[in-house]
Amino acid sequence: MTKSKKLLIIECIPRSEKLDESLILSNFLEMTEPDAIYTHTISSKSQMLNYLKSKRDLHKFDFVHISAHGGDDNESIDLPQGSLRPEEFPESCFSRQTVALSACSMSRTEFVSEFMDTTGASRVIAPLNDVEFIDAAVWFINFYYLLLHHDFTPKGALDRTNWILKGKVKGGFQFWT
């Protein structure tokens, strides 16, 4: 029997915006994979750093999804009460994991290469361009459904999702190794 893949969704969008990607993704994905989806809500930069430094069971997850805003400089993630540059992430916090950055314009060499070097992430999925909330939610529902329920590889799920939704969602999602 194969090991069940697990997904951690870290929600970093301020509650006041009423955009909760973790709620949308978890409610849908739990219909097919009820024991594979976990969520954690972050309310500040310090809380995010403390959570990642403690590595609270992070090793149990194959995939980590960070729902946030991309910084105006395309080189940081905006969090409630602060922003986070790639070199500020705790060393090796995502060792050998696939990390999805659901944040506008984060698929930039300047950000992703430093992020992977610092965090130890083996793969990163992120949008090249600005992406509307609904487009990101639809894209990631399809991606994770293929990844978790149909046993696609991360690259295979990305390619299939991009093909299925070509011309229907914006963002230009890319895969980094």
Instruction: Please report, for residues 55, 70, 72, 160, the alpha-carbon distance to residue 58 in angstroms, rounded to integers and kept in the order given.
Output: 5, 23, 28, 27
Which pLDDT band holds residue 155 (cuts at 50, 70, 90)? very high
Average pLDDT, the chain: 89
Question: What pLDDT is stored for residue 107 in this prediction?
Answer: 82
Q: Which DSSP letter does residue 122 get?
A: S
Domain 7-176 in this protein, CATH class: alpha beta
Mean pLDDT of 56-70: 88
Q: pTM of the full predicted structure?
A: 0.92
Question: What pLDDT is stored for residue 71 in this prediction?
Answer: 80
pLDDT in tens, 7-47: 999 998 877 777 788 888 988 988 988 889 999 999 899 99
- Count Cβ atoms within 10 A of the Cβ of residue 35 and give its class: 0-12 exposed, 13-18 middle, 19 or more buried: exposed
Q: What is the share, in percent, of the chain residues with pLDDT greater than 90? A: 55
Question: What pLDDT is stored for residue 1 in this prediction?
Answer: 36
**Structure tokens, 141:** 């529902």
Taking each helix axis as running N to C, give the angle between helix 21-29 and helix 133-144, from 0 to 180 degrees, rounded to the nearest 10. 30
Question: What pLDDT is stored for residue 32 in this prediction?
Answer: 86
Distance, in Å, from the CA atom of 139 to the CA atom of 132, rounded to the nearest integer, reads 11
What count of residues does the chain have? 177
Domain ranges of the chain: 7-176
Q: Which residue has the higher pLDDT, 2 or 75?
A: 75
Mean pLDDT of 40-59: 88
Compute how many other C-beta atoms are within 10 angstroms of the C-beta atom of residue 43.
Answer: 14
Distance, in Å, from the CA atom of 105 to the CA atom of 102, rounded to the nearest integer, reads 9
Q: Which residue has the higher pLDDT, 133 or 18?
A: 133
pLDDT in tens, 84-104: 999 999 999 999 899 999 888
